[in-house]
């Protein structure tokens, strides 16, 4: 798995907020928000929520990601 890219503190806050509100369904909610943004033609919003989806999946994983020292 590639390391997720987190563009800003806001992106991480959005991921944490979705996890707090939606629990195990947070990644599905982020995907839904991305799809809605895409349907409205909002490319920036689509990319933001897809990034959030990947961050949520990484945060929810019990496996280490990247180099382990």
Predicted pLDDT at 66: 74
pLDDT digits (tens, 9 = 90+) for 10-69: 889 999 999 999 999 999 999 999 999 999 999 999 999 999 999 998 888 888 777 777
Q: Domain limits of the chain?
A: 9-60
CA 29/CA 23 separation, integer angstroms: 10
27-31: long-range contacts, CB 8 A cutoff, minimum separation 24:
27/53, 27/56, 27/57, 27/60, 30/56
Predicted pLDDT at 1: 55
Q: Which two tokens stand for residue 45?
A: 């919003």
In residues, how long is the chain?
69
Q: Which two tokens stand for residue 46?
A: 């689509």
Are 5 and 55 in contact by the 8 Å Cβ rule? The answer is no
């Amino acid at each position: 798995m590639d390391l997720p890219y987190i563009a800003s503190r806001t992106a991480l806050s959005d991921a944490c907020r979705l996890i707090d509100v939606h629990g195990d369904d947070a990644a599905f909610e982020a995907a839904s928000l991305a799809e809605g943004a895409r349907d409205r033609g909002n490319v920036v919003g689509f990319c933001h929520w897809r990034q959030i989806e990947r961050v949520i999946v990484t945060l929810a994983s019990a496996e280490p990601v990247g180099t382990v020292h």
